[in-house]
Chains A and B, each alone.
Chain A
């Protein structure tokens, strides 16, 4: 089949293994008589360990693309290999398993369960993994909360947390299942400069551990912390550039005075 050949050539040509490989991805939304062409043929390979920022104007199709990468939505046409699995041939249950084991998704609007503690929110992906015992579930969740610096907030409800803290809970939830890739749709969109830097710091450290990360952002500033920037326009990729020397969020955080960040905005 077409995409199997494609996979073979890909591996032959580039020796390193792409964790995400999409070819000619098309997504149309039908609304009554009008058809919205959200994605008009996207080709993109993302190597293992990469850190990619997807940029572009509002309505250019970034979220649509991310949702398809995250197996939350299905494209109208095209090919998508995730970790050598042909995603579009999978059943709903297999997709659910894939989301559960290989993907961590961070939403712009957090999407935490309300009236549910931070810890229970982080446990959520593990609840759907039969191989994990209650003990492991708790240990892994506490560890994930620690890694985003929120262990002291384990028993807080989302409405008792700031936006930045909620986003960090969401990140902890996305990494608790030790995914191969973390996908984050505007993870800093609702956050101020300092909190945004903290979130980028977390991503950079996860990336250092080998996790592939893809984020969507409007801000060139945020994109400069990643290794590769891909720009969308009208459902197409118009530019992809490597960042030779990504900025280091940890260093910038340490230089930043603690109390003046509000004025800097």
Chain B
């Protein structure tokens, strides 16, 4: 049989069974579209988590004192008073792979400007903090180490604080706000960073010199944590190791003893967040696979239901001279056409659904070529198999058996 005739026969057959063609296609369309959309959602959130983790800063290490235990009762991390500015100094002097280093204390403050007020976190840090966290100043400048030595009442504020105390688009540089009744001069405003990986608004904060917050606001002598950055990504583990050794020596702990502090690196956090999003991707992929399977069963159903009719058709074709493989080829072409058209429509629909989710739920999506290929191949394979298998069975009968088939 000529290929052209085969194509004609296949197209005629698809056209004359519009409903069957459509339903089979629908199975493929839904299967492909749902896989693409689900994977897009999973991949999208994974990507955005990765992007958000990079907003933490570059090559960041966080050093917390080990939670103290009072009579066996563990206290909150950072509640230990074992970490002091001496620790900062010794790390600064002895750890060559550390680029920037700052102590950190945190408290919450009631902010007042005019008749507006706002409650937020106040961080006490060295200017190094801005380098570690990649925080850019859009207006004004960072306070200096001199401000820290003099415990100057100056601060840098985030955009959310600006919006809530001064209104959108205001430039409050040089104004004074009261934080827990203490007047602070605003010397800088940070660039907008958005939410971090855990949904916190990173622009909702006040950053002031370390000693200002430590002495004037908290009135403590210890530090709550340290933030450091390694000189390069490759040096993160080295930096972690150096800090561990130096701090243990400083705290008179032997090499075999457990440290009284913990170090978290950006790599750790990224891994944690990525594994969370991987679980979500797996979950979504499972749901998608189920819908692919349901779509596949739909295809199967339609194909099998039409077997009787098709077996008679095969009988008729063979009785006028079709060879077994003519018939098989025709059925394969039919299945191929359905799979191709259905698959393409499914890809388009999957793209549309993904974009709708992105728009309506403002959820990040990312369509991957793997999800397209996988869903496309899977549903085509099902379509082809269930188109081909009954046809093969029928083509093996002799014509009269196929004609009598019930």
Contact = CB atoms under 8 A, between A and B. Distances in A.
A160 interface: no
B1 interface: yes
A6 interface: no
A134 B4 contact: yes
Nearest to B396: A92
A100 B320 contact: yes
A264 interface: no
B319 A111 contact: yes
Contacts of B17: 115
Given A72-B398, A74-B398, A120-B12, A125 B320 contact: yes
Contacts of A125: 320-321
A128 B316 CA distance: 12
Contacts of A96: 318, 321-324, 326
B324 A127 contact: no
Contacts of B236: none
A24 interface: no
Given A92-B323, A100-B321, A128 B1 contact: yes
Given A111-B316, A116-B12, A99 B321 contact: yes
Nearest to A74: B398
Contact of A99 (B4, B5, B320): B320
B17 to A, nearest CB: 7
A230 interface: no
Contacts of B323: 92-93, 96-97, 128
A128 B320 contact: yes
A73 interface: yes
B400 A73 contact: yes
Contacts of B315: 111
Q: Which of A97, A99, A112 has the most CB of B within 10 A?
A: A99
Contacts, number: 78
A180 interface: no
Question: How big is chain B's contact interface, by range?
Answer: 20 to 34
Interface string B309-332: 100110111111111101000000
A70 B321 CA distance: 11
Interface residues of A, number: 30
Given A74-B398, A96-B322, A96-B323, A124 B317 contact: yes
Contact of A73 (B1, B4, B12, B398): B398
A174 to B, nearest CB: 8
A249 B193 CA distance: 97
B403 interface: yes
Contacts of B16: 114-116
Given A100-B321, A113-B316, A130 B398 contact: no
A129 interface: yes
A65 interface: no
Q: Which of A92, A96, A111 has the most CB of B within 10 A?
A: A96
A173 interface: yes
Interface in B352-403: 398-401, 403
A124 B399 contact: no
Contacts of A120: 12
B56 interface: no
Nearest to A93: B323
Interface string A158-183: 00000000000000010001000000
A101 B320 CA distance: 9
A113 B313 contact: yes
A240 B313 CA distance: 36
7 contacts: A113-B313, A127-B2, A127-B8, A128-B317, A128-B322, A128-B326, A129-B321
Given A73-B400, A116-B16, A125-B321, 4 more contacts: A93-B324, A96-B323, A128-B322, A128-B326
